[in-house]
Structure 1
Amino acid sequence: MGYNSGNHRFGLSLDRYRLATQTYYEDPDGSYEAFSVKIPKLEREKVGVFYDTDVDGDYLKKIHFDAYEQTIQRQFANEVKTTQPVPSPMIQALTVHNKTDTHDKQYTQAVTLQSHFSLPANNELVTGAHQRDFRYFDTKCQSCTNKTGSAKGPVA
């Protein structure tokens, strides 16, 4: 949403989404006992403001300012389990089971200030500054199990 008033333009933006998804995997050969990739939570919220003005001075022509704050939260889960035969009389199969569960949150704040100058001899100069603060928090849980098996049972 934005407004114009003479040489001034200013506005506010809001961007928000929430979703969840997962993959579908068809295993016609039966190679996997478990296979999944899930994103049960993905949320983003961003709020921003901007301001532009046409100064139209002898050298300074335009000024631009914008700022935003953004939060992203995600959850990711992955599981793969497979058992493969091993051509050995002692070890007949190897089972690998991996599970991962990650929760993270990103928090960002940023601000930009920019000036546009028109200099002699048809030269243009754009100067500016940008500051961003980024914070990231996460929690991860991962397990990996490898087992071998024989006709007599698991082998350590």
Structure 2
Amino acid sequence: MSKGFVSGLMTGICYFALQSGAYSQEQTDPQELGPIVVTASRSEQSLDEVTRSVAVVESEQIERSVADSVTEVLRDVPGIKIIDSGAPGMQRISIRGESSIRNVVLVDGQEISDHTSYGPLFLIAPEDIERIEVVKGPGSVLHGSKAIGGVVNIITKKGADRALEIEVGTKFNSSTNGLSGFGSAAGTIDKWDYRVSLSRAYDGDRETPAGPLEPSASSEQSATAYIGYRGEQHSLSLKAERYELEADVNTGSSEFPFDLPKRDRSKLSFFYDFENVNDYISKVHFDGYFQQIDRVADNTYTRPEFALPLTTPPTITKMKQRSNHIESELQTLGLNSQVDLSLADNVVTLVGFQVIQD
């Protein structure tokens, strides 16, 4: 057994940005212009005001797509290509032709770390997603040196408009005889909102015209819990997440099966906002998180053993089975801070920093 690990790796960015208002004094409500997005500038803007190329996938589109993964949701976004490694649930994306490792994947503005040569995975269930914002093109100033191809920010669901809202659902995938189910309870009581959700999915071996593709089964399950307080100026929220993914990989050879029994993500996070501080400071934001990603890979193969001394051609005495077991554990501490300043009319000044230690 061998174990791989990354330790003591810290990255950080500090940023300073200016935004100029793009709408008239009479049309002061950004909602009149279009959906609100935050990823392109790290501050709330109407999509019509953003000068960069941004695509937004909203919850209605996610529900209609009947997708079993986030990458499938993004498949129809212009400029995005799905990179399929052959392992169910292990797809990555390429933005405008850039390598997958040159994209940053965020969940509620917090990064999913991945120190492989393949790029980050989307370790989250589609049922937990409120919307997805995709920024196409370089975003290194605001999101770090890895954001050369672009940034994907997954905004998760929070509370509901009533005291209690219960949602349940199920899906069937005929190509894999797969079945999934999910359920959630959410609501808002006075100034508090909450959400608890569970999901579970199983897909069998993929059906092809030539017969089942073995092995290619996968399973996933997730659980989230969120609670938040929203006052007139202050808001605070806490969230816990757990996502588990298991997949079998078809390598094209029955003598070399590959099993990925664990690709799990656990996370604890907090968010704090102080709005309308004074005439010059419109907003102060802090958030932090601890995240752990566990990976396990097993493969079994056979190799020949030859009689000694070697002859020409070599004489095979027997076939011996070998196996490899690889584990890795990636722990991440992250902290983000930002201050939105109103120092001049129609101009917003952003000052902030981000620190990530793996």
Task: Specify if TM > 0.5.
Answer: yes
Which residue does the alignment assign to 1:7? Answer: 233
Q: Which of 268, 282, 299 is the equivalent residue of 1:47? A: 268
Can you give the 5+ residue segments of structure 1 that lack an aligned partner in the other structure?
84-89, 135-156
TM superposition outliers: structure 1 runs of 4+ over 6 Å: 92-95
Greater share of helix residues, 1 or 2?
2
Which residue does the alignment assign to 1:111? Answer: 335
Structure of higher CA gyration radius:
1
**What is the identity percentage for the equivalent residue pairs of Structure 1 and Structure 2?**
26
Return the alpha-carbon distance in structure 2 between the equivalents of residues 111 and 64 of structure 1.
Answer: 11
Decide whether aligned partners of structure 1 residues 33 and 129 sit closer, same or farther in structure 2, where only a CA change above 3 A counts.
closer
Secondary structure class of the residue paired with 1:35: coil
Which residue does the alignment assign to 1:91? Answer: 313
- What is the CA distance between 1:57 and its match in structure 2? 1.5
Return the alpha-carbon distance in structure 2 between the equivalents of residues 9 and 59 of structure 1.
Answer: 20
Structure 1 residues 3-152: aligned runs within 5 Å: 3-24=229-250, 32=253, 34-80=255-301, 90-91=312-313, 100-134=324-358
Can you give the 5+ residue segments of structure 2 that lack an aligned partner in the other structure?
1-226, 305-311
Higher RCO (CA 8 Å, separation ≥ 6 residues): 1
Return the alpha-carbon distance in structure 2 between the equivalents of residues 108 and 57 of structure 1.
Answer: 34
Count of aligned positions: 123
Greater share of strand residues, 1 or 2?
1
Which residue does the alignment assign to 1:148? Answer: none
Judge conservation of contact 1:33–1:82 (CA < 8 Å) in 2: no
| TM-score normalised to structure 2 length | 0.31
Deviations 1:104-126 (A, max 9, x none): 00111111111001122422111
Return the alpha-carbon distance in structure 2 between the equivalents of residues 123 and 116 of structure 1.
Answer: 10
- What is the CA distance between 1:21 and its match in structure 2? 2.2
User: Counterpart of 1:128 in structure 2: which amino acid?
Assistant: G
- What is the CA distance between 1:92 and its match in structure 2? 7.6
Deviations 1:120-139 (A, max 9, x none): 242211111112211xxxxx
Which residue does the alignment assign to 2:61? Answer: none
